[in-house]
Amino acid sequence: MTVSNPEQQPAATCPFSGNTESLTRRHDRLLPTDDLTPKGTLIQAQSYADSRDLLKGDFAQAGFLARIASNTKGSVHPPVLYMQGEEHTEMRRATAKYFTPTAVNSYGPMIAELADDLIGQLVNKGEMNLDDLSLHLAVQVASNVVGLTSSRLPGMEKRIEAFVGGKLDGEPGVTQKVSPVRDAAMGGAVGLFFMLDVKPAIEARRKERQDDLISYLLDRDYSDQDILTECITYATAGMITTREFITLAAYQMLLKPELRADYVHGTEKERHAILHELLRLDPVVTMLYRRTDQDTDIGGQTFPAGTTFALNIQTANADPAIMGDDAEQVCPHRTLPRGVQPQGLAFGDGPHRCPGAFLAIKESDMFLRRLLLWNDLEIVNHPSVGYNEIVKGYELRGLRLRLGTRKEDR
């Protein structure tokens, strides 16, 4: 894990330059050149320009176990993450209403209540792991949007964690090395998720539609299997990634008191700028994959149809040609070229850009500000940094925080 050098002097134009570096950089994924380069059966892109061109093009999604998901037994409709062309455009247009700024702001009271309850639990218990709190928040917020609100038993987040934390690898072409026992366990976890969470939600909405995703899918005649696959997609690509970012952002700011102070005392716009910058430096999904269906020119080279590209989002987001010479440092108000988002490509770009980007930042901000306002909040244990190969993202585990009176002092 990389920790900043406190002896470095900040640049005059950026109060945090030199004080914070990426905590999750995967150096084993770096190539010696930013040119499009073969790596195994893939072509790896590291520059911002090449990665953005590939994301903005009409190329097929090749990551997140795309081939497995698109061939799920009993499914008629592929999840929106894997759709292409008009079908994808129509689905995104129809479901965009759940993720607009107006819709997200309407979720504010629900998010605030959840955040206050979780911080109340931390106060009452004295110590808790932040990754447990952030998992509960992310799952509950997303489940309200999706419509997973009729579970037969509590503990949906643990059921989701059980199958998302499997040993599958989302890299295209990789031979999956999962034992029969592990494969059965993952299948059992998915089965429990369906029977205890998804099926009850479907039954409730067949009786009475709600303003949520599952109701919309029922209106489109989606089967139970189709809806399950869509819910798994949201759990993998949405809930779990938000969990990791909340933990990462809190840890970065707990390590950097000046950054934390600017965050908790800033306006919403200023706070969001800090969160976007932290996400730029540590994008949760570190690799994205795209496959061409026809001959394609990228980066001054021509690639034949069927070429699969691996886009290193970490290096693209730290490209000095776009982000400046201090691209490896935290600077929330850096000057960017026109059209470049402050979080870089952390939410993707083009037709498959993350639809829940605004929601992820909003809920993270509402929880983190409430948490980091407490002056007696302290780190008990620092987290370990691992990687989930399904989403190609980092996992921070064991960040234990103390808030309030120590147990032994009660």
Residue 150 CA to residue 18 CA, distance in Å, equals: 48
C-alpha distance from residue 322 to each of 49, 52, 123, 327, 345 (Å): 8, 12, 43, 8, 12
Two structure tokens written together for 246: 């909340």
Residue pLDDT, tens place only, 134-170: 999 999 999 999 999 999 999 999 999 888 876 777 7
Mean pLDDT by groups of 10 residues along the chain of 410 residues? 36 45 84 86 95 93 61 70 87 93 96 98 97 96 96 94 78 76 80 96 97 96 92 86 97 96 97 98 95 93 94 95 94 94 97 94 98 96 93 94 69
Contact status, residue 63 vs residue 288, Cβ threshold 8 Å:
yes
Contact status, residue 230 vs residue 213, Cβ threshold 8 Å:
yes
Q: Specify the pLDDT at position 154.
A: 93
Two structure tokens written together for 249: 């952002």
Domain residue ranges of the chain, discontinuous segments joined by +:
27-409
Residue pLDDT, tens place only, 360-394: 999 999 999 999 999 999 999 999 999 988 889 99
Q: Specify the pLDDT at position 178.
A: 66
Residue pLDDT, tens place only, 323-337: 999 999 999 989 999
Is 27-409 a domain of CATH 1.10.630.10? yes
